[in-house]
Amino acid sequence: MDKNLAKSLQNTGVDTRFVSIMGNKIFINNLKLSRFSRKKERLFKKSFPEIEVIRSKIFQKICIRASRTLAHCISPQERIFVVKNDDPLNTALYTILEPYKRKYGIELVYGNYIDERIELNVDSIALPITLDDEAENILNLMINGEKIGLLSSNESYKGKKLLYPLINVPRLWIRSWMGIKQDNSIQEQYKSSEDLLRFLEGLIPDVRENLFKSALFLDNII
């Protein structure tokens, strides 16, 4: 079905490297580069009236940030393992990665948890660690007087390369895109860090990004 949708979109002049085809929904990752105009949408829906085309500005922002990370870490024809469940972060992860099947010819390998299919012939594992996860972890280490380290500093697991497509994406953006008001994904150990982060963001612009950049700098020089 996805191949039929992709072919129909291509026939109407849409660049499918910049849209995510997820069941009966199509998410536009980049409106300009996809060339998915309203006129083309009307032409497409003549053949597929049941398919919903979603034009979310916040999702496009997420994809743009993710693409800057993925451009440096994905190789053509790579087989990438992704945990597939109802977790919003994992859902965001494979929705963002889906068009890379057409852009780079990658293959997504799904499973319920990492070790379930790690022995398969996959090249890498994509993890849903967000910018907030890093910022909260950094603050938690500072509060407890521990050495600063990054969650995304691990480059491999059991010989498989680790990917962090959401590492520059705020968790709030994902919640907003999915219409989730309450965040239940924060671990108990990071509750105080999250409270402090919310306080700091009212005083310091881009506090999450700055914490991450500082920790990344320290990680590179130590």
Residues 50 and 61 grouped into a single domain: no
Residues 117 and 66 grouped into a single domain: yes
Percent of the chain scoring above 90 in pLDDT: 58
∠ CA(217), CA(69), CA(171), 5° rounding?
Answer: 85
Residues 114 and 205 grouped into a single domain: yes
Residues 101 and 77 grouped into a single domain: yes
Q: Give the N- to C-terminal CA distance of the chain in Å, as an integer.
A: 50
> Is the per-residue pLDDT at 221 higher than 50?
no
Residue-wise pLDDT for 17-27, tens only, equals 999 999 999 99
Residues 33 and 16 grouped into a single domain: yes
Cβ neighbours around 95 below 10 Å, total: 21
Between 21-35, 135-149, 175-189, the lowest mean confidence (pLDDT) is in 175-189
Residues 152 and 62 grouped into a single domain: yes
User: Whole domain around residue 181: which residue ranges?
Assistant: 57-221
CA-CA distance, 107 to 76, in Å (whole number)?
10
Between 11-15, 105-109, 116-120, the lowest mean confidence (pLDDT) is in 116-120
Q: Which residue would you say has higher pLDDT here, 199 or 40?
A: 40
Q: Are 167 and 129 within 8 A, CB to CB?
A: yes
Residues 116 and 210 grouped into a single domain: yes
Confidence of residue 219 (pLDDT cuts 50, 70, 90): low
pLDDT value, residue 116: 67
Tokens of 157: 């697991």
Q: Which of 27, 55, 83 is the last residue of a domain?
A: 55
Q: What is the mean pLDDT of residues 30-48?
A: 96
Tokens of 35: 């060339």
CA-CA distance, 29 to 50, in Å (whole number)?
20
pLDDT value, residue 186: 46
Residues 22 and 73 grouped into a single domain: no
Q: How many domains does one find in the chain?
A: 2
Residue-wise pLDDT for 150-164, tens only, equals 888 889 988 899 999
Amino acid at position 107, single letter: E
Residues 79 and 30 grouped into a single domain: no
DSSP for 53-97 reads EE--HHHHHHHHHHHHHHTTT--TT-EEEEE-SS-HHHHHHHHHH
pLDDT value, residue 119: 66
Q: What's the whole-number average pLDDT of the chain?
A: 87
pLDDT value, residue 50: 95
Q: Are 166 and 61 within 8 A, CB to CB?
A: no
Q: What is the mean pLDDT of residues 67-84?
A: 93
Strands 25-28 and 52-54: parallel
**Does pTM top 0.75 for this prediction?**
yes
Residues 39 and 132 grouped into a single domain: no
Q: Are 124 and 160 within 8 A, CB to CB?
A: yes
Residues 104 and 214 grouped into a single domain: yes
pLDDT value, residue 64: 96
Residues 127 and 51 grouped into a single domain: no
